[in-house]
A and B are shown apart, each in its own frame.
Chain A
Amino acid sequence: MDTLLNISNLSKSFPGVKANDDISLHVNKGEIVALLGENGAGKSTLVKAVFGLVRPDSGTITIKGESIAYGDTAAAISHGVGMVHQHFQLVPVMTVTENIILGDEPHKGMFLSMKAARQEVIELSKRHGLEVDPDSVVEDLPVGIQQRIEILKALRKDIDLLILDEPTAVLTPQEIDELLEVMRNLAASGVGVLFITHKLREVMAVADRVVVLRNGKLVGATTPSETDEEGLAQMMVGRNVVLQVDKGPAKAGEVVLSVENMTVKDSRGHEAVTNFSLELHAGEILGIAGVEGNGQRELVEAICGMRHRTTGTVKVAGVVAPDMDPRQVHLMGVSHIPEDREKDGLVASYSIADNLILNQFNLKPYATKGIRDFKVRDAYAEKLVEEFDIRTPSFENLASSLSGGNKQKVVVARELTQDLKVVVAAQPTRGVDVGSIEFIHNQLVSARDTGAGVLLVSAELDEILSLSDRIAVMFGGKIVAILPGEGADRQYIGRLMAGLTE
Chain B
Amino acid sequence: MQRVFGSINIKSWKFLLTAAVLIVWIYCYVANGDVTNSVVASGMRFGMPLALASMVGIMCERSGIVNIGIEGTMLLSGFTGFYVASYTKNIIIGLIIAILTGMLTSFVHALMTIQWQMDQIIAGTIINILASGLTSFLYKEGSTVPNTWPIFDIPILSRIPFIGHAFFSQQGPIQYFGLILIPAIWVLIYKTRWGLRTRSVGENPGSADTAGISVIKVRMINVVLGGAIGGLVGGFICLELVGSFSKEFTAGAGFTALALMIFGRWNPMGAFAAAILFGLAQALSTQLQIFGVNNIPNQFITLLPYVFTILVLVFSAGKVRPPAAEGKVYKKEEA
Binding site for B on A (CB under 8 A): 14, 48, 51, 53-55, 71, 73-74, 76-77, 83, 85, 87-94, 98-99, 101-105, 107, 110-112, 153
Kindly state whether residue B14 has any CB partner on chain A within 8 Å: no
B212 and A77 form a contact (CB under 8 A): yes
What are 15 residue pairs bridging A and B, where the CB atoms are less than 8 Å apart in the complex?
A14-B333, A48-B335, A53-B335, A73-B209, A74-B212, A89-B211, A91-B199, A91-B203, A91-B207, A91-B208, A94-B200, A102-B197, A105-B196, A111-B191, A112-B193
- With A77-B211, A102-B207 given, name 6 new contacts (CB 8 A): A53-B333, A74-B212, A85-B210, A91-B207, A98-B196, A102-B211
A89 and B206 form a contact (CB under 8 A): yes
A102 and B203 form a contact (CB under 8 A): no
A88 to B207, CA, bound (A): 8
Provide the main secondary structure of the chain A interface: loop
Using known A-B contacts A53-B332, A92-B324, A93-B203, determine if residue A102 contacts B196 with beta carbons closer than 8 Å: yes
A54 to B332, CA, bound (A): 8
Which residue of B has the minimal Cβ distance to A54? B333
**Chain B nearest CB, measured from A415 CB (Å):** 27
Which A residues are CB-close (under 8 A) to B125? none
> What are the 5 A-B residue pairs with the smallest beta carbon separation, nearest first?
A103-B211, A74-B212, A89-B207, A89-B210, A102-B211
Provide the main secondary structure of the chain B interface: helix
B192 and A94 form a contact (CB under 8 A): no
Q: Which of A14, A53, A91, A111 contacts B204 (CB 8 A)?
A: A91
A183 to B59, CA, bound (A): 42
Interface string of B276-318 (1 = CB under 8 A from A): 0000000000000000000000000000000000000000000
Size bin of chain B's contact surface: 20 to 34
Interface string of B182-208 (1 = CB under 8 A from A): 000000000111101101100110111
A91 to B205, CA, bound (A): 9
A484 to B333, CA, bound (A): 48
Which A residues are CB-close (under 8 A) to B209? 53, 73
**Chain A nearest CB, measured from B190 CB (Å):** 9
Which B residues are CB-close (under 8 A) to A92? 203-204, 324
**Chain B nearest CB, measured from A134 CB (Å):** 15
B333 and A55 form a contact (CB under 8 A): yes
Kindly state whether residue B93 has any CB partner on chain A within 8 Å: no
Which B residues are CB-close (under 8 A) to A94? 199-200, 203
Kindly state whether residue B213 has any CB partner on chain A within 8 Å: yes
B332 and A89 form a contact (CB under 8 A): no
Q: Which of B193, B194, B197, B204 contacts A90 (CB 8 A)?
A: B204
B210 and A53 form a contact (CB under 8 A): yes
A74 to B209, CA, bound (A): 9
**Chain B nearest CB, measured from A463 CB (Å):** 30
Which B residues are CB-close (under 8 A) to A51? 210
Which B residues are CB-close (under 8 A) to A14? 333
A103 and B335 form a contact (CB under 8 A): no
